[in-house]
Structure 1
Amino acid sequence: MSSDSESVVLPAPSPDQIYVTISALEAGHLTLPEKLFITEADPEKRATVPSLSFLIQHPSPPKSTNLVFDLGLKRDFSGYRDAQQHHITQRQPTIVSPDVAESLRKGGLSPEEIDTIILSHVHWDHVGTPLDFTQAEFVVGSGTIHLLAHGGGYLYPANIFNPDELPKDRTKELPPVRASDLQKAFENQTQHKWKPLAAFPAVVDFFGDGSVYVVDAPGHLFGHINLLARTGPKKWVYLGGDCCHDPRILKGEKGIAMYDDGRGRLRSVHVDTDEAAATIKRIAKLLKAGKVKEEGGGEVEVEVVVAHDKEWREANQGRFWPGKLS
């Protein structure tokens, strides 16, 4: 891993390098109180922010592969458990239309044409309505299936998740990053293998051609993952999910807020604040002008987008499907 003073070096393209196209998708909005997310916040300020989703199109012959990263909010909250409903009442107002399915249709693509859905994590504002996607394979980070069924400790009890959220016969979980020897033996037999890349200790080359990398991004929730994708020569996009909830944290202008956990201890919105801070630090290196290089020489441009960036959404309306980031 690079130190703070070193450049991040991304892999050079192959002679026949594949590039993907990325389009933002409207996927609903929720309202966040600043004091729970950033340091030095106005205690009364609440902001209604997007939960962004993205369509990634990979030119796989004989047709493109359509991949969606995150599904935003459900259009119908009625199926949520009481504990989930209580949490959602604290995030009002919410906007659930258009959701991902509607956004895709508006751009001329049906939910049935989506081949793969990768979820950054399974919080309620990212899982959307999986039933809309009848043909898609779902891909989640390690530990996610156990989390949905059993929860993850007193801050993340089982009753804030739905065990049947994802289609069991079409959901694949990535292998553990920190694996025992037995797990490593299993991992070596799977398509997806974790390897270091640039500032990141563990990524998966998802298509096997250097076009899209799944990045292990620990800290926010068990199984939290991000995507790093090539969109053209010298151009990359990093989709950060909930690595942080305000881009000012990535820029170093704000820190992660800490607050009482109800048991006299401090917590943040992350399951592991130290790991989340380390993940943010790695991603922040991609923002430093002149510090992101490509193997063989030259600088590359990396655009970083996090799920709840209101200003990015407002400034990039032309890049929503059928528009493109690249």
Structure 2
Amino acid sequence: MVSSSANPEVVTLPAPSRNQVYVTISALEGGHLTLPESLFVTPADPEKRSTVPSLSFLIQHPPSIQTLSQDPKSQPTKLIFDLGLKRDLSGYREAQQHHIAQRQPTTVSPDVAESLQKGGVSPQDIDVVVLSHVHWDHVGTPSDFSNAEFVVGNGTLHLLAHGGGPLYPAVLFNADELPRERTRELPPVQESADFKPHNRVTEHKWEPLAGFPSAIDFFADGSLYIIDAPGHLHGHVNLLARTAPGKWVYLGGDCCHDKRILSGERDIALYDDGRGGLRSVHMDTDGATRTVERVRTLLGEGKVREEGGKHAEVEIVVAHDGGWKERNGGRFWPGTL
């Protein structure tokens, strides 16, 4: 949580445990799409369009000491965050196709499966897929991951089946996008007695963390946290990963579409919603703004510490940061962050 002591701007992350587990993260290719700047940031060049990646990530969680003692050949748990674009664009519904036509040019190769295979991992080797949300450029090709459990934010399955209001009708989603028998939905941030989600992840509980009201310690060892990141779409989540002593990575999904929004150089753009009002690319602009403000607290040298006072560094990567991709080619699988 945010410290209220001498320096209220300092964010405090959990201290490492005695036998702290660290995860490794590798970026994955997930295709590209083209975004008009004026729909995403303000002020903007009304003519500028940028082709950007839809980044995905392979996260490997090592087996515990106890597991290794029982089975020395145990392998790391392999988790993927987001799946980018579908390899075959014909797999999108007609309304989605219309939207994709406005995001040209797009590229779909290499996709996540091909990116994994180039580094010697089969999609069938993936244990868990966590989706930040279910927009078309993040759902990829779930059928490639035939052995994986899918984890989605609360409200996602209802959104896929019924849509999310007049600006997010059901025709923009595929009701059967995810394998129902292998999909787990995170619990609501605020419990409801009448809420009965499909295959709820019952062992997980939301707790405050580093200024974020709701986070889940996914492996229950302080190595990887799912962060509730409301605003962009129902069920939108981010990840916060501990990668080395004093080193963390925050995977921001679509909390914003341009790093200049995080730095404060730009604001979220508003435009005509076609219904006599204004909208943004976020379902709830105010909620998205609050999420950005929370993520922003992780920026800046000396602003983040672990409990006990040790300084920590947090690298923030959002899904469509083309500049990050250009600067970090060696950190794509089999390279690491």
Q: Which amino acid aligns with 1:153?
A: G
2:149 is equivalent to residue 128 of structure 1: no
Look up the match of 2:253.
241
Percent identity, aligned pairs only, is: 71
Q: For the residues of structure 2 that align with 1:11 and 1:115, how far apart are their CA atoms?
A: 26
- Runs ≥4 in structure 1, deviation > 3 angstroms? 181-184
Q: CA deviation at 1:183?
A: 5.4
Q: For the residues of structure 1 that align with 2:170 and 2:112, how far apart are their CA atoms?
A: 26
Q: For the residues of structure 1 that align with 2:17 and 2:225, how far apart are their CA atoms?
A: 15
Q: For the residues of structure 1 that align with 2:225 and 2:326, how far apart are their CA atoms?
A: 27
Look up the match of 1:27.
30
Alignment of 1:93-172 (within 5 A): 93-172=105-184
- Distance of aligned partners of 1:238 and 1:14 in 2 relative to their CA distance in 1, 3 Å threshold: same
Q: For the residues of structure 1 that align with 2:194 and 2:218, how far apart are their CA atoms?
A: 23
2:16 is equivalent to residue 9 of structure 1: no
Q: CA deviation at 1:179?
A: 2.0
Q: For the residues of structure 2 that align with 1:153 and 1:182, how far apart are their CA atoms?
A: 21
Q: Which amino acid aligns with 2:98?
A: H
Q: For each residue in 1:165-219, what CA deviation from the matched residue of structure 2 results, as whole angstroms up to 9, or x when unmatched?
A: 00000000000002235659xx999211000011100000000000000000000
2:46 is equivalent to residue 43 of structure 1: yes
> Secondary structure of 2:225's match?
strand
2:289 is equivalent to residue 286 of structure 1: no
- Distance of aligned partners of 1:101 and 1:251 in 2 relative to their CA distance in 1, 3 Å threshold: same
Q: Which amino acid aligns with 2:20?
A: Q
Q: For the residues of structure 1 that align with 2:31 and 2:296, how far apart are their CA atoms?
A: 26
Q: For the residues of structure 2 that align with 1:295 and 1:142, how far apart are their CA atoms?
A: 30
Q: For the residues of structure 2 that align with 1:169 and 1:183, how far apart are their CA atoms?
A: 19
| Matched length | 324
Look up the match of 1:56.
59
> Secondary structure of 1:286's match?
coil
Q: CA deviation at 1:125?
A: 0.1
Which TM-score applies when normalising by structure 1?
Answer: 0.97
In the alignment, structure 1 segments of 5+ residues that lack a partner are: none
Q: CA deviation at 1:79?
A: 2.2
Which TM-score applies when normalising by structure 2?
Answer: 0.93
2:277 is equivalent to residue 274 of structure 1: no
Q: For each residue in 1:232-264, what CA deviation from the matched residue of structure 2 results, as whole angstroms up to 9, or x when unmatched?
A: 000000000000000000000000000000011
Look up the match of 2:220.
208
Look up the match of 2:93.
81
Look up the match of 2:70.
none
Alignment of 1:167-182 (within 5 A): 167-180=179-192
In the alignment, structure 2 segments of 5+ residues that lack a partner are: 68-73
Q: For the residues of structure 2 that align with 1:307 and 1:238, how far apart are their CA atoms?
A: 11
Does the 8 Å contact 2:185/2:200 carry over to 1? no
Q: Which amino acid aligns with 1:252?
A: G
Q: For the residues of structure 2 that align with 1:204 and 1:123, how far apart are their CA atoms?
A: 22
Look up the match of 1:69.
81
Alignment of 1:258-273 (within 5 A): 258-273=270-285
1:303 to 292, 315, 332: 315
